[in-house]
Structure formats: structure tokens, C-alpha cells
């Protein structure tokens, strides 16, 4: 019996102890008319060898591609040690660290994670993670509304990831929160400052500022943050953690710094894996600590005065507060954060800086070479980080299909998310791409266009 260790003798002894004559008797409180018959869609069990064969076949069917898609999920080199340690049984199969004395490994690691994320984002504190970047943004919106006394209005520019905007709407839809989307400048690819003026006399709770934005473009975060603060609203930064090795962290934007920073943690050592599991990060300034959702680890002492770590501020959470909790969230993405912490430790400040710089330089190199091809133009004029928009002379889908046949996933067709952006492609070349990979992409795209 797969994963059931009981022998015949065990079963007999156990039933005798209970005073039942069969295992079936143990289900005698379930009304007979509810009991189900055979399962029809579940096939017979496989051995480990058989399932291995099946999964290998399916994996081989999917194969490998040279990936130039970014759009919220980025391919970076993951050092071998990251997942070898992360999948140690003591991390992989442990429970939520409610019993602190038996969970110091996980708790200390999370405290280290909080330290690294707070510093990377330039914030005072970080929680122990959220489900993913999109839900972290939704939770930041809820947090802003909770802390703002008068307004339930949130401004989100359309340069924020289009799927994030959908997720935010879905999650906050039943809480009477007004989500207002702002247009962007079609030349620069940046938030349109004039669009903000419309709200100069309106009470708003928060403004979401992406850096870099969905198009890879660098937003003028200092001016935008100061504008939000002049309106007594909160600035929520949506950032990419790799880029923070180089870019001004949200906590230092403008004269006061953003109030909340969120984003997708996947670039920090998490494989692309069809979209998950990833993790979202969330960090904030001290004055918002009691509004932050999710798990938080704090330092304390044991009876002997030795340093230790525990889950803290639990009075905000659902298992204590029930219907009055800050959020219904009950987990973090523990294992993903384990990987991210080990990743950040292995890379250190200089390693992460190099990953960021190479990703930036590779994307610049790719764009510069592509611009020389007839039929390719740069989409936007503002500086970009490690992702860029290209305008093609032909419909994108056909081009993507041709390059796919050459083993290249050439980017994302933006028209799917921005209906008026015809023939535009979003591309990304991280540090994983060599000069030869980039050259090959350029040649293949040139051929496909002609």
C-alpha cells in the first residue's frame, strides 16, 4: 500500500484496542446514503519507476528554449547550493514555525530574509513574504486604505504590470475601493505627469509607482513620490529586487521615501517553473508596522537570556483576530524565501550588482543591434533597465512563431495587454544570455522580418 506502513498484525492489534471489528466500522457515523462508490477518473496507481517515465516523457515534450521573455518573471542563474540546501528535509518538510523552540532554523532564516529585504528596498521592516508579486500589491493597496482615514481611492498607472492590475481589482473588488488607472506617455513609456494634475484637488489614499515599469522603463520616482506625499497619500513602490542592487531603493525615493515597497521575489533564486511557486515581498516604514499583513519574525531571548526568534505581532492575524484580522492570509511562501535568502547570501552585494549590471548591459546590447535592422524600432525613448519595447514592421505573433521554430522565445506580444499597441514586442536579456545568443537572436529576427 503506497505510503502506508501498517502490517496485518498492526491492523488487528489496533482494531482490538479500539474495540472495532473492521476499519469500515470506524466510518459508522457517516450516513450510509452519503458514501461514495468507485472513483471513475482516477487511474490505477503507478510505481515510482512508471511515474518517472511518464513525467520524463512530458518534460521532454516541453523541451528547452532560449528564453527572451521577462514581463514579471526573469531567468537568472541559480547557484547549485540554493536548491540543494532548500530541499533538505528539515526545511522542505517542516511546518509553520509556531513551536518556536523546535523551529529556530526557519525562524532565524526568515529574520535574516527580513533584514536583507528591508535593506534592499531601503525600508525599515519587511514581512516574511506573501504569495506572489501581484497579491503583494493587492495587500499593499488594502494596507494603504486601512491606514488612510478619509480616502478609498487608489491611483495605478497603466505602466504597472497589466496582470497585477487585474489581480488587484479581483482581490479588492468587494471592499468598496476605487481603483483608477492612469494613462502613460506614448513617447517615453513613462507615467504621464499631466494625468496626475487631474487629481490635484482630490483626496486619494495611495499612488502605485513601478520601477522599472512593465515596459522596463525607469520612472521619475523622486518627483512622483514627492507629489504623492504633497497630497498626504501613501506611495507604494512596485520594484524588481535584482534591479535594486543598482537602483535607488523605494525607501529613498524623493525627499521622504516611498511608504510601502512590494514586488515579485522570483528573480532571487526561484526557477521560472510555469509561474510558481514564487513569492511576493513586502516592506514598509516603521509607522505602518501594525498595518502590514502576513507573518513577521521578531528577535527575543530565551529563559537563559540567549538570542532567539519567534513569530511576532500575531495579534494582527486571523488565528487570533478572526473576522477583525488585517488579512485572511495564513501562510507565507516559506520554502521560496528559504531559497531567496540563500541566493542573496551566496551572491552578496557585489554578486547581485553584477547580475543586475549584466542583465542591463545585455538588454542594451540586444536593443542596439536590433535597432540597426530595418523593420525594428525602439518603442520608447526613456532609459530602460533590463527589458525594452520594440516596434516591428510586421505582426508580432507570426514573428514569435518563426523564432520559436528556431528554439527562441523572442518576447511578449504587448498587444495582448495593450490593444492599441500594434506590432510591439517586450524583450529581456538577462545575464544568462551570451554575446552569441544575442547575435543569434538578431540574425533570426532579421530573417523572420524579411
Alpha-carbon gap, residue 338 to 279, rounded angstroms: 11
Alpha-carbon gap, residue 161 to 264, rounded angstroms: 11
Least CB distance to other proteins at residue 234 (A) = 20
Q: What is the number of alpha carbons within 13 Å of residue 36 lying toward its C-beta?
A: 3
Among 15, 192, 195, 449, binds other proteins (CB under 8 A): 15
- Chain position carrying cell 491606514: 147
Distance of CA 286 to the CA centre of its chain: 23
Least CB distance to other proteins at residue 235 (A) = 16
- Paired strand residues for 181: 156
Nearer to other proteins, 149 or 324 (CB): 324
Cell of 200: 490635484
β-pairing, 424-427 with 388-392? antiparallel
Nearer to other proteins, 89 or 374 (CB): 89
Alpha-carbon gap, residue 228 to 206, rounded angstroms: 7
Among 205, 206, 217, 218, binds other proteins (CB under 8 A): 218
Examine residue 1 and tell whether it contacts other proteins (CB under 8 A).
yes
Q: Report the site for other proteins in 93-112 (rule: CB under 8 A).
A: 93-97, 99-106, 108-109, 111-112
* 361-401-278-267 Cα dihedral, nearest 10 degrees: -10
For 443, other C-beta atoms within 10 Å of its C-beta total: 13
**In this chain, which stretch among 15-23, 147-155, 190-198, 255-263 interacts with other proteins, using CB under 8 A?**
15-23
Least CB distance to other proteins at residue 379 (A) = 15
Residue among 215, 195, 207 nearest 382 (CA) = 215
Examine residue 434 and tell whether it contacts other proteins (CB under 8 A).
no
Among 231, 285, 295, 433, binds other proteins (CB under 8 A): 295
Among 178, 320, 398, 450, binds other proteins (CB under 8 A): 320
Q: H or E element: which one contains 134? A: helix 133-147
Alpha-carbon gap, residue 119 to 43, rounded angstroms: 50
Q: Report the site for other proteins in 380-409 (rule: CB under 8 A).
A: 383-385, 400, 404, 409
Examine residue 410 and tell whether it contacts other proteins (CB under 8 A).
no
Alpha-carbon gap, residue 347 to 360, rounded angstroms: 17
Alpha-carbon gap, residue 400 to 65, rounded angstroms: 13
For 22, other C-beta atoms within 10 Å of its C-beta total: 9
Residue among 450, 350, 435 nearest 398 (CA) = 450
For every residue of 191-222, DSSP letters joined together read: B-HHHHHTTTTS--SEEEEEES-TTSBPP-HH
Examine residue 128 and tell whether it contacts other proteins (CB under 8 A).
yes
Examine residue 206 and tell whether it contacts other proteins (CB under 8 A).
no
Nearer to other proteins, 90 or 420 (CB): 90
Alpha-carbon gap, residue 331 to 394, rounded angstroms: 46
Examine residue 12 and tell whether it contacts other proteins (CB under 8 A).
no
Q: Report the site for other proteins in 257-276 (rule: CB under 8 A).
A: 264, 271-276
- Paired strand residues for 427: 388
Q: Report the site for other proteins in 323-362 (rule: CB under 8 A).
A: 323-325, 327-336, 338, 341-342, 344-355, 357-358, 360-362
Examine residue 319 and tell whether it contacts other proteins (CB under 8 A).
yes
Binding residues for other proteins, how many (CB under 8 A)?
Answer: 199
Q: Report the site for other proteins in 137-196 (rule: CB under 8 A).
A: 161, 163-164, 166-167, 169-171, 173-176
Examine residue 296 and tell whether it contacts other proteins (CB under 8 A).
yes
Q: Report the site for other proteins in 28-67 (rule: CB under 8 A).
A: 28-31, 33-36, 38-48, 51-52, 54-65, 67
Nearer to other proteins, 374 or 419 (CB): 419
Examine residue 222 and tell whether it contacts other proteins (CB under 8 A).
yes
Examine residue 23 and tell whether it contacts other proteins (CB under 8 A).
yes
Nearer to other proteins, 68 or 231 (CB): 68
Distance of CA 62 to the CA centre of its chain: 24
Q: Report the site for other proteins in 241-260 (rule: CB under 8 A).
A: 244-249, 252
Examine residue 235 and tell whether it contacts other proteins (CB under 8 A).
no
* Radius of gyration for the alpha carbons in the chain, expressed in angstroms and rounded: 25
Alpha-carbon gap, residue 160 to 330, rounded angstroms: 27
Nearer to other proteins, 66 or 231 (CB): 66
8 Å CB contact between 238 and 164? yes
β-pairing, 66-67 with 234-239? unpaired
Among 178, 194, 232, 321, binds other proteins (CB under 8 A): 321
**In this chain, which stretch among 187-195, 232-240, 379-387, 440-448 interacts with other proteins, using CB under 8 A?**
379-387
Amino acid at each position: 500500500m503506497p505510503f502506508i506502513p501498517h502490517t496485518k498484525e498492526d491492523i488487528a492489534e489496533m482494531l482490538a484496542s479500539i474495540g472495532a471489528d473492521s476499519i469500515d466500522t470506524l466510518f459508522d457515523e457517516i450516513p450510509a446514503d452519503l458514501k461514495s462508490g468507485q472513483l471513475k477518473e482516477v487511474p490505477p496507481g503507478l510505481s515510482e519507476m512508471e511515474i518517472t517515465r511518464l513525467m520524463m516523457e512530458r518534460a521532454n515534450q516541453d523541451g528547452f528554449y532560449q528564453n527572451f521573455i521577462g514581463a514579471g518573471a526573469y531567468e537568472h542563474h541559480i547557484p547549485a547550493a540554493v536548491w540543494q540546501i532548500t530541499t533538505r528535509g528539515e526545511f522542505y518538510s517542516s511546518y509553520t514555525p509556531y513551536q518556536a523552540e523546535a523551529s529556530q532554523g526557519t525562524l532565524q532564516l526568515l529574520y535574516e530574509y527580513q533584514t536583507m529585504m528591508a535593506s534592499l528596498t531601503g525600508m525599515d521592516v519587511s514581512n516574511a513574504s506573501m504569495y506572489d508579486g501581484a497579491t503583494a500589491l493587492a495587500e499593499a493597496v488594502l494596507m494603504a486604505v486601512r491606514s488612510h482615514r478619509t480616502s478609498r481611492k487608489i491611483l495605478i498607472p497603466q505602466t504597472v504590470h497589466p496582470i497585477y492590475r487585474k489581480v488587484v481589482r479581483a482581490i479588492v473588488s468587494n471592499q468598496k475601493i476605487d481603483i483608477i488607472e492612469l494613462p502613460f506617455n506614448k513617447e517615453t513609456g513613462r507615467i504621464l505627469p499631466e494625468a496626475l494634475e487631474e487629481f490635484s484637488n482630490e483626496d486619494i489614499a495611495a499612488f502605485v509607482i513601478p520601477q522599472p515599469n512593465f515596459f522596463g522603463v525607469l520612472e521619475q520616482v523622486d518627483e512622483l513620490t514627492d507629489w504623492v506625499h504633497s497630497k498626504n497619500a501613501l506611495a507604494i513602490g512596485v520594484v524588481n529586487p535584482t534591479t535594486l542592487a543598482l537602483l535607488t531603493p523605494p525607501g529613498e525615493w524623493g525627499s521622504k521615501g516611498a511608504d510601502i515597497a512590494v514586488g515579485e521575489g522570483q528573480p532571487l533564486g526561484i526557477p521560472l517553473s510555469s509561474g510558481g511557486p514564487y513569492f511576493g515581498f513586502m516592506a514598509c516604514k516603521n509607522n505602518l508596522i501594525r498595518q502590514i499583513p502576513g507573518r513577521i519574525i521578531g528577535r527575543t531571548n530565551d529563559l537563559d537570556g540567549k538570542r532567539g526568534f519567534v513569530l511576532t505581532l500575531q495579534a494582527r492575524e486571523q488565528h487570533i483576530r478572526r473576522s477583525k484580522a488585517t488579512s485572511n492570509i495564513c501562510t507565507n511562501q516559506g520554502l521560496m524565501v528559504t531559497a531567496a535568502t540563500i541566493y542573496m547570501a551566496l551572491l552578496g552585494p557585489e554578486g547581485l550588482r553584477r547580475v543586475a549590471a549584466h542583465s542591463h548591459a545585455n538588454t542594451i546590447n540586444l536593443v542596439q543591434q536590433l535597432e540597426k535592422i530595418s523593420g525594428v524600432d525602439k518603442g520608447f525613448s526613456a532609459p530602460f533597465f533590463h527589458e525594452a519595447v520594440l516596434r516591428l514592421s510586421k505582426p508580432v505573433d507570426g514573428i514569435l512563431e518563426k523564432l520559436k521554430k528556431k528554439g527562441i522565445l523572442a518576447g511578449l506580444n504587448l498587444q495582448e495587454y495593450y490593444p492599441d499597441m500594434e506590432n510591439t514586442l517586450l524583450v529581456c536579456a538577462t545575464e544568462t544570455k551570451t554575446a552569441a545568443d544575442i547575435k543569434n537572436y538578431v540574425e533570426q529576427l532579421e530573417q523572420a522580418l524579411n
